[in-house]
Structure 1
Amino acid sequence: MRDRKIFVGRKIRTVRQEHGLTQAAFATRLGISTSYLNQLENNQRHITAPVLLALADKFSVEMRDFAGGDEDRLLADLAEAFADPAFDGQPPASQDIQLVVQNAPAVAHAVLSLHRSLRQSGERLAALDDTIERRGALVEPSPYEEVRDFFHYIGNYIDELDRAGEALAGQLDGMGRDRLMPLADYAARQCGIRVIVETAAGGPFTLRHYDEKSRLLRLHSRSGAATNAFQIAHQIGLVAYRELIDPVVERADFRSQDAAAVCRIGLANYFAGAVLLPYERFLTAAQELRHDLDLLAERFGASIEQVAHRLSTMQRPGRQGIPFFFARVDRAGNITKRHSAAKLQFARFGSACPLWNVHRAFENPNDILRQLAETPDGRRYLCLATVVTKPSAGFFAPVQTYALSLGCEIEHAGHLVYADDLDLVRDTAFEPIGVSCRICERVDCHQRAVPPLKRRLTVEPNRRGQLPYSF
């Protein structure tokens, strides 16, 4: 597996400009020549370890900030967009796409917005969707898509909310496993919110219902203590921490009020996670317990999903945890939640790779499955998958079942208890997976659902292998 050269000219230029230095002065502080700095800023040279160390030492720059995480997300999304048949003709080379991402990220985001609009237009026209008549329906992303991308590109970490949630957890006298009563007491004393956990006989299952006029918060007993504690913290966030949530929504500059409302819910959820799993305490416990999901859930009185999701947000500057990816997948393969602080990026459209172990989790509902996986770019990962089932409202009520995926790059696997008996060296131990069939160019995949969009197919009527075509 080859080392990847990292070009971060725009980030270096930003650091220099923030300190108000000329290229000559900045180069002197770094101990390099002005011409070398000029080449770095214009992405004509890749950054080296000595320069990274000098940036960290002289300008207090986090080296992880230069690891290309944001560019990797954008590069993967842009490559997927250009794989669409709508860009028929001569698709740009991967080097050209990388140059756009590195030097003109705003252009890259604009192309993604255009591609999303084009795709939605085609889908709605093909389905004769009723929304074709609505003003702007063909060109605007759905509110959930817009909010999903917002969290995706900020790295799923909001510092002000994270620290506020952690501070509130400290005020609650170091909550143990039982967080329900301390949170309910705080809601009553500080927010004037009365909490009732009730049992509803029949009727629709309501996870949370807040009446603004009476300031009464109704929760369902079947949800369980962890979920109800989360819902109380969520409501506290919406009521008492609006002055922190609203500015984040305003900075996002969403296209619609619906997207802003969806984001506000997402930010309240983020705050609740920070309250129940406060950053420093949770990160210390995760390192001590070597990221054992069951032990972390037991220690904090949380659900496995809450723990796995929180692990993917441990990106506080100067105190980062392992960069995990996290996803929640339904039985049809739809990714209903996704975030990646790792190099692995999820497909924006379509289903996930069928070789990914998250799909096998439904066959083993009581286990945590492990998989050593390698993506087409040569990067290797430890992938964990398990199934969660939401509480039902009775025998005839539908049951929600999801598979969760959590993983990290193989270089971090030694910090996870799940890797202790795995062979992390043998090449054949790693299963080849992709992101999505439509953008994966593996030629020998036995589970391929559709051909890659960028490759010309060869169809031989007198010969048939695992697939009815080759490329």
Structure 2
Amino acid sequence: MATQKLYAGAKLREMRGRLGLTQKLFADKLSVSLPYLNQMENNHRPVSAGVVLALAQEFGLDVTELTVGESERLVSDMKEALADPVFGAANPPLADLRLAASNAPALARAFLDLHRAYRQTHERLASLDEALGREDAALRPSPWEEVRDFFHYCDNYLDAVDRAAEHFVTGPQGRRDVIQVAREALERRGISLHFSDTGAMRRYDPVAKRLDVSARSSEPTQRFQLLHQVALITQNDLLDATLDLARFHTPEAREIAKIGLANYFAGAALLPYRTFLDAAGSTRHDLERLADLFGASIEQVAHRLSTLQRPGAKGIPFFFVRVDQAGTITKRHSATRLQFARFGGACPLWNVHQAFETPGRFLRQLAETPDGVRYLCLSRDVSKPGGSFHAPTRRYAIGLGCEVQHAGALVYSDGLDLKGRFEPIGISCRICERPDCHQRSVPPLERRLRVNPDRRDVLPYEILG
């Protein structure tokens, strides 16, 4: 399998600007000629292995920053957008998309914003009472989409919030009991904490200065909800400053994002960065053992593993996803090259869909995406009881995975033949390039079809090159 060339011109220019170096000085430190550096910065040449090594030795660069980041997500998002029938036969080569993402990321994001606005126009036209008769009907992303994209392009890692959460629960002797720390923080502000049957998972009365957390919820949920409210009360200035930098278009988006930031703080406090990173390594990323060690749920542990992207102290790059029983993605994040479709469900060949059939078990899958990248994928069902007979139970499946070169650091690789067969999976049928998939629901939009009425195979059409 051919090694993918590394084009990282924008990253090189950004780093040189941050260091305050001229091209000549930067080239000297990297032991390359000035024309060669110029070509690399403009993506006319790939970054060589020698330059990567020099960046690590001279400047302490975490080389994973060159390979996984905004460019890969932009390429994936643009490829999906260009599969829309509105673009007709337009099918820019992958090299052009990578060039745009690396050299003109602002233009690429503007293109995605424009396509999103186009889609929303069609959605509004499908509901005339929404599309017509409203003077304020402007073309903008929904608040939910805007917040989702904010976390997506932050790599789902927010350094200031993460460090504040870590500091909040860590004392001179190490990690402290989160409930005790939270109770003390509330008491200093005259707020009383009660575990009671309120009918809601969490309810705060700012006038009475009383916080109620549901006694019917599981202990991991109680801790998370308690820390969420503590974040809103004790970290409000930090959360607002982060929101100011994001510059959301609507008050609704800002309010949704604030909930997301409080959730982020809660997860980072429940699973503080360095302590959790060390425990993940020592347990070989055993989700059940980590859940027991930190009093967290398996879903909380899996999601946290996908956020360990602190510069200089990164964990294994994971992807994390949660789907409902209809196959709709309700949470998604990837620090790997695998980027989920922004719209619609996940590939039906992916083992995350089988988790509902085997409750309480981890499923393992060795999978390969159309770009030739191989992954170790885990999936498991998660149930969220309502706490009473009449309360509904919410059921999801979570997926967690990493590229196969990291598989040895996971207990889940034990007994697997990592050089054996890898199952082919895709991202979304409409952008998947596999011509012979037996689970294909729709043909790829960028490929021509041939229909033979006198022949029927698994698919009723043949996908042409």
* Alignment TM class, shorter chain as reference: over 0.9
1:72 corresponds in structure 2 to: 72
C-alpha contact (below 8 Å) 1:183/1:229 kept by paired residues: no
- After superposing the two structures, state which structure 1 stretch, 189-198 or 459-468, moved more: 189-198
Tell whether 2:5 aligns with 1:5: yes
The within-5 A match list for 1:132-171 is 132-137=132-137, 139-171=139-171
2:428 corresponds in structure 1 to: 436
Q: Using the alignment, how far apart are the partners of 2:414 and 2:187 within structure 1?
A: 47
Q: Using the alignment, how far apart are the partners of 1:118 and 1:362 within structure 2?
A: 35
Task: Give the aligned residue type for 2:196.
Answer: E
TM-score, L = length of structure 2: 0.96
C-alpha contact (below 8 Å) 1:191/1:240 kept by paired residues: no
Q: Using the alignment, how far apart are the partners of 1:425 and 1:135 within structure 2?
A: 60
Q: Using the alignment, how far apart are the partners of 2:207 and 2:74 within structure 1?
A: 44
Deviation at 1:89, TM superposition (A): 3.7
Query: Of 216, 220, 244, which aligns to 1:250?
Result: 244
Q: Using the alignment, how far apart are the partners of 1:393 and 1:20 within structure 2?
A: 58
1:342 corresponds in structure 2 to: 336
Task: Give the aligned residue type for 1:390.
Answer: K
Query: Of 405, 409, 415, which aligns to 1:415?
Result: 409
2:19 corresponds in structure 1 to: 19
Query: Of 451, 457, 460, which aligns to 1:465?
Result: 457
Number of residues paired by the alignment? 463
- The percentage of counterpart residues that share the same residue type is 54
Task: Give the aligned residue type for 2:323.
Answer: V
Task: Give the aligned residue type for 1:122.
Answer: H
2:377 corresponds in structure 1 to: 383
C-alpha contact (below 8 Å) 1:8/1:68 kept by paired residues: no
Write out per-residue CA displacement over residues 216-253 of structure 1, whole angstroms, 9 at most, x where no aligned residue: 11111111211111111111111111121111111111
Task: Give the aligned residue type for 2:320.
Answer: F
Task: Give the aligned residue type for 1:187.
Answer: A
Tell whether 2:228 aligns with 1:228: no
Residue 370 of structure 1 aligns to a residue in which SS? strand
Deviation at 1:185, TM superposition (A): 2.1
Write out per-residue CA displacement over residues 279-321 of structure 1, whole angstroms, 9 at most, x where no aligned residue: 1110000000000000000011110111001100101111100
Q: Using the alignment, how far apart are the partners of 1:127 and 1:257 within structure 2?
A: 24
C-alpha contact (below 8 Å) 1:357/1:369 kept by paired residues: yes
Q: Using the alignment, how far apart are the partners of 1:243 and 1:167 within structure 2?
A: 16
CA RMSD of superposed structures (Å): 1.6
Residue 44 of structure 1 aligns to a residue in which SS? coil
Write out per-residue CA displacement over residues 134-181 of structure 1, whole angstroms, 9 at most, x where no aligned residue: 4454611111111111101110111111111111111496557x643x
Q: Using the alignment, how far apart are the partners of 1:437 and 1:295 within structure 2?
A: 36
Task: Give the aligned residue type for 2:389.
Answer: F
Deviation at 1:439, TM superposition (A): 0.6
Structure 2, unmatched stretches of 5+, are none
Q: Using the alignment, how far apart are the partners of 1:373 and 1:344 within structure 2?
A: 11
Query: Of 284, 290, 301, which aligns to 2:295?
Result: 301
Tell whether 2:76 aligns with 1:84: no
Query: Of 453, 459, 468, which aligns to 2:445?
Result: 453
Structure 1, unmatched stretches of 5+, are none
Q: Using the alignment, how far apart are the partners of 1:330 and 1:31 within structure 2?
A: 52
Residue 414 of structure 1 aligns to a residue in which SS? helix
- After superposing the two structures, state which structure 1 stretch, 311-320 or 81-90, moved more: 81-90
C-alpha contact (below 8 Å) 2:429/2:442 kept by paired residues: yes
Residue 211 of structure 2 aligns to a residue in which SS? strand
Tell whether 2:101 aligns with 1:101: yes
Task: Give the aligned residue type for 1:35.
Answer: P
TM-score, L = length of structure 1: 0.95
2:58 corresponds in structure 1 to: 58
Q: Residues 258 and 8 from structure 1, CA distance in 2 versus in 1: closer, same or farther, beyond 3 angstroms?
A: same
